[in-house]
Amino acid sequence: MIEKINSTDLKGRLVIVTAPSGAGKTTIVKRLLASDLPLSFSVSACTRERRSGEVDGVDYYFIGKEAFEDKIANDAFVEFEEVYEGSFYGTLKSELQRLWKDERIVLFDIDVLGAINLKRQFKEQALTIFIQPPSLDILVERLTRRNTESEASLKKRIAKAASELTYMDKFDKTVLNDDLERACKEAYDLVVAFLK
């Protein structure tokens, strides 16, 4: 259990978990959210279609490309990126303000370049954790097993994952996810150390 934290220490704090697709970051983020840590999930906005079981405002804010571009023009994002051609993702300023108002630490499950952008802006207020897969081959196997992509989409995702692995040294900490329980505990311990 983490000791009681002074809520004024939470203002403006971010924990950013990033990894190539298929490395296990979402599973680790869900475990962190279920822990005793004062974390709240930052819901990203995106232009992609909603997948089966996803809920607007919980998994993502699903908005059309035109509305997304309007928000860019109105400086509504802390960061945004065209992750895949025609698919935009971003963090709304209003989302951070909402969570900080509730005196929570904002927890991100975000792509690699988005994580770099956030770290650049928030510096020591942010802890960045890169989830490293055991190998690229295992990552490819995990992505293929998901069976959620067309062959062309899967090839794009694998190429992007290989590229993202080259950014590993840009983050505060790296957690090797070759054993899920150990990786979850290591991520938890890193957040606890960051809050002290």
Query: What CATH number is associated with residue 150?
Result: 3.40.50.300
Cα angle value 15/18/20 (rounded, 5°)? 175
Q: Measured between alpha carbons, how far is 79 from 75 in angstroms, rounded to an integer?
A: 10
Neighbours of 127 (CB within 10 A): 22
- Ordered per-residue pLDDT tens for the chain, 196 residues: 344 444 445 668 999 999 988 888 999 999 999 999 999 999 999 999 898 899 999 989 999 999 999 999 999 999 998 887 888 999 999 999 999 888 889 999 998 988 999 999 999 999 999 999 988 888 778 777 776 667 777 788 788 888 899 999 999 999 999 999 999 999 999 999 998 8
Contact 48, 27 (CB under 8 A): no
Domain holding 49, by residue range, is 7-195
Could you tell me the pTM of the whole model?
0.84
Rg (the chain; Cα; Å): 16
Phi, psi (degrees; rounded to nearest 5) at 9: -75, -15
Q: Measured between alpha carbons, how far is 117 from 155 in angstroms, rounded to an integer?
A: 25
Instruction: Report yes or no on 1 lying in a domain.
Output: no
Q: Measured between alpha carbons, how far is 194 from 127 in angstroms, rounded to an integer?
A: 7
Task: Count the domains in the chain.
Answer: 1
